[in-house]
């Protein structure tokens, strides 16, 4: 891949473009993801489509970082389902960052529009190995820890001029009004992290992520209070019908 460009691509598209998956394999994995609601990366590793280390390197590319190691790292088999968490929260929960360090990095990210992984690596706040393990964990894969005798380095991938921008916009209740832009970045994952945290903390009426490239604009993700309430009600109906939540039930836990 040309080091001079960094357009953000969805994980499945990135893997297919790099020749790591065929289109048919990607479609099969996406169908399974739709059925079982597991992270795509976890499905691909468990299904033997690619190694956990290859997955981790591709995830790092989405965050603008290239990893360089002396060997391919091992991963542990995933267990059960994984609830997706924003990268910043996962890093704090895993003890890789303090809340204050994350807050400072997010403030810098908001000021200059760089990617969170890039900011943390450039500041020296986070080691490349910690970032790799957190990215793998975000997809439900556990990456092995290595000792200090092995090489594990990270290089920042330059941002392309004219790449798409993702804007998180709050949608007002009143029709015809334009919502305010809360956050913008060149990385969709960063926009999704921000949107997830904003919804959880503020419970807005509606929120969307808009992709802007030149004169082209499109909504690529949306949330609404009404749809969230409907989904919660439907899930409660399932619990009352079956006596448990069939969406989150994992039969492997009962083996």
pLDDT in tens, 189-228: 778 888 888 888 888 889 999 988 878 889 988 898 887 7
Residue 112: per-residue pLDDT: 76
Per-residue pLDDT at 239:
54
């706040």: which residue's tokens?
Answer: 125
pLDDT at 5 over 60: no
Read off φ and ψ for residue 16, nearest 5 degrees. Answer: -70, -40
Distances (CA, A) of 234 to 34, 204, 239, 240: 17, 21, 9, 10
Q: Please state, rounded to an integer, the average pLDDT across all residues of the chain.
A: 80
Per DSSP, what are the bridge partners of residue 38?
none
Q: Pick the range with the lowest mean pLDDT from 66-80, 84-98, 153-167, 229-243.
A: 229-243
Which carries the bigger pLDDT value, residue 13 or residue 149? 13
pLDDT beyond 60 at 235: no
Please say if the pLDDT value at position 113 is more than 80: no
Residues sharing a CB contact under 8 Å with residue 50, sequence separation 6 or more, in sequence order = 15, 20, 21, 44
Cβ of 9: how many Cβ atoms within 10 Å?
16
Give me the pLDDT at residue 96, please.
93
Exposed e or buried b for every residue in 198-237, given b needs 16+ CB within 10 A? beeeeebebbbbbbeeeeeeeeeeebeeeeeeeeeeeeee
pTM value > 0.85: no
Task: For residue 119, give the nearest of 130, 108, 132, 133 by alpha carbon.
Answer: 108
Q: Give the residue extent of every domain in the chain.
A: 11-156, 164-255
Write down the pLDDT at residue 12.
82
């Amino acid at each position: 891949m040309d080091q001079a460009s960094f357009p953000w691509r969805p994980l499945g598209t990135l893997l297919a473009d790099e020749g790591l998956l065929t289109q048919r394999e990607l479609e099969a994995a996406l169908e399974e993801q739709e059925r079982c609601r597991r992270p795509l990366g976890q499905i691909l590793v468990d299904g033997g489509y690619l190694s956990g280390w290859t997955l981790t390197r591709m995830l790092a590319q989405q965050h603008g970082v290239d990893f360089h190691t002396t060997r391919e790292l091992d991963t542990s088999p995933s267990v059960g389902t994984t609830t997706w968490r924003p990268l910043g929260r996962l890093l704090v929960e895993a003890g890789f960052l303090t809340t204050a360090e994350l807050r400072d990095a997010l403030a810098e990210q908001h000021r200059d529009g760089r990617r969170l992984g890039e900011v943390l690596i450039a500041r020296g706040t986070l080691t490349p190995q910690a970032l790799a393990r957190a990215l793998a964990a975000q997809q439900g894969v556990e990456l092995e820890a290595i000792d200090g005798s092995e090489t594990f380095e990270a290089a920042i991938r330059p941002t392309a001029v004219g790449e798409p921008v993702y804007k998180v916009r709050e949608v007002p209740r009143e029709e015809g009004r334009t919502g305010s832009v809360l956050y913008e970045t060149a990385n969709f994952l960063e926009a999704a992290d921000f949107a997830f945290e904003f919804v959880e903390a503020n419970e807005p009426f509606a929120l969307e992520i808009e992709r802007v490239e030149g004169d082209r604009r499109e909504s690529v993700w949306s949330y609404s209070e009404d749809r969230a309430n409907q989904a919660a009600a439907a899930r409660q109906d399932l619990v009352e019908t079956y006596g448990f939540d069939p969406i989150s039930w994992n039969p492997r836990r009962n083996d």
